[in-house]
Amino acid sequence: MQHFIISGLLVVALSGLAAARLPDGRLHANFPPRPIAHLTGTPPSDGVVHARTGATIPPYDTTYYFEQLIDHNNPGLGTFQQRYWHTWEFYEPGGPIILMTPGESNADGFDFYLTNATIPGQIAQQQNGATIVLEHRFYGYSNPFSDLSVASLRYHTIQQAIDDLEYFADNVELPMPGGDAVGPDQAPWIMVGGSYAGALTSWTMVDKPGLFWAGYSSSGVAESIVDFWAYFEPIRQFMPQNCSVDVQAVIAHVDLVFTTGTPSEINALKAQFGMSNVPHLEDVAGALRNNLWDWQKLQPYTGPGAAFFRFCDALEVKNGVNAPATGWGLDHALSAWGSYFRNTYYSLVCGDSDPATCFGTHDTSQSYWTDDTVGNDDRSWRWIVCNEVGFFQDSAPVNRPTLVSRLVQPIGDEVRNYAHQLFTSIGDNRFFLSDQRQCVQMFPGAFNSPSVPKADQTNAAYGGWNATVDRLFSVNGQRDPWRDATVSAEDATTVSTVNQPVALGDGFHCSDLLTASAYYDATIARVQSQALASMKTWLEDWQPGGAERQSAKWSPT
């Protein structure tokens, strides 16, 4: 059966409000979103048959378990059960094994990526391959331990995740005919990933040469960046110009009032956004990013009701008339944004939580700092953020226009001191929304004081956006807020070649992973076609034996 879905397909990035949970289960609203693109809606789980023979095979949502090593540096520590999903709907002997991991997310529902409604399934259909979705360690229910305490999370590293992929490929016996004889030396393996998992695809191919014969990285955030102010640059560049101008004007006003205003002026401004009881001004300023984070939810087919454009309409449509490119100006924009945030948007973000609980980042008695239960994927992601990748989404440098308050900094002058130069009346870093401080609050056993994530070490180990990797196809969207952490970043030195193509479409975050995106965006159709052609060419060159596994690792020299 050739299973293909177009109608009802919707992909959104994790709701722009990630890293911790409020008492009512909602995500804390003053944390940056994770880069993942999360799929909603799954294919039918019954009636799956082999494409050629018509033989009935297990449903897509059948869950399998693999005994994965807890610590690849100490195999004696034992194993844990790592979940995976698998189909051989299109498989013929000699075909490739296509492995996809959702990365930093519970993998329930990602069995959709086994089907030809996605790039992994398209490769499988074209090349007579089998598909796998493998849950990443410490996400969902693939956890070595019974909690997400600091002691447990010490085994949660990028390198351990890469080693998982190697151990899985070398040792899994896939539940299909001949599934015990399809290791990387017997069949070509292809890794596919989007966002963090797209970066993991590149990092794995750098660290384990020859393990995967080919790779497909969609919006892969390959370059770890501590001060990731550039997250907001594609938003500023591609959002409606009138909205951009007015947002910048409001933010400049917020910074001016919060740094030089009288107590009554400051309180009036807080009240305008419904945040009178939020005690720390940096939390108030940081909360305004929520409207911007909604951009990450956009896809070409979500329709005109997307939350980001509702926000811009609230600012730029007055009495049925659209603002000119220069916007309506500060007075109207401030009033309109405050009214929209206070009366419409707040309940969508915070539910029944009060503003101090929803937006405050200082009260460590709240459960979202201490919830270490298995399945709290936001805590697992925050561990990687604090230790290895950074990606703190803050204001632009002082010589650049900014959509985000200058009070939102990674850690004040330890990382960047321009805010102190701008606001000379501010005497210490506590005034700034410091992501490193929040790392200490969430993981007090691991960090005694704010420290900078080891992003430089991560880039040195795995090449970042400058790695040279044979047979890696990278696709990025110019409207993607994560674009400047990919190989399509302004500062990246990667050059597109026949053996390492880099394609830039007009899409958003991971748009190209979905077959249906091609129906809405001709640039995505083009890159998908190019990728499938590359896979076909590269697989023609594969030979059994895996000799290339012995080659040297990537190095910058």
C-alpha 86: how far from its chain's center?
23
CA 334 distance to own-chain centroid: 31
- What token pair was written down for 353? 């939580």
Q: How far apart are CA 548 and CA 223, in angstroms?
A: 25
User: Phi and psi for 384 in degrees, rounded to 5?
Assistant: -65, -40
Give CA angle at 240 (238, 241), nearest 5°: 95
> Tokens 């979202």 — which residue?
368
Per-residue CA distances from 31 to 88, 227, 307 (Å): 40, 14, 18
Which residues are part of the catalytic machinery?
Answer: 195, 480
Q: What are phi and psi of 447, to 5 degrees?
A: -125, 120
Residues 6+ apart with CB under 8 A from 203: 158, 162, 222, 461, 462, 463
Report the DSSP beta bridge partners of residue 474.
Answer: 217, 502
Range list of H helices, 366-464:
367-370, 377-384, 418-422, 435-442, 455-462
Distance CA 376, CA 105 (A): 9
Nearest to 23 by CA among 346, 341, 358, 286: 358
Rounded CA-CA distance 88/115 in Å is: 10
CA-to-CA distance for 440 and 108, rounded, in angstroms? 31
Coil, strand or helix: which one is 216?
strand
Please provide residue 347's backbone torsions phi and psi, each rounded to the nearest 5 degrees: -65, -30
Distance CA 121, CA 119 (A): 5
State how far the Cα of 521 lies from the Cα of 511, in Å rounded to an integer.
Answer: 9
Cβ neighbours for 216, distance < 8 A, ≥ 6 positions apart: 119, 120, 123, 190, 191, 192, 193, 201, 472, 473, 475, 531, 535
User: What's the CA dihedral at 509, 513, 515, 516 to 10 degrees?
Assistant: -20
Question: Judging by beta carbons within 10 Å of its beta carbon (0-12, 13-18, 19+), is residue 185 exposed, middle or buried?
Answer: middle
Helix axes 263-272, 241-260, angle to 10 degrees: 150
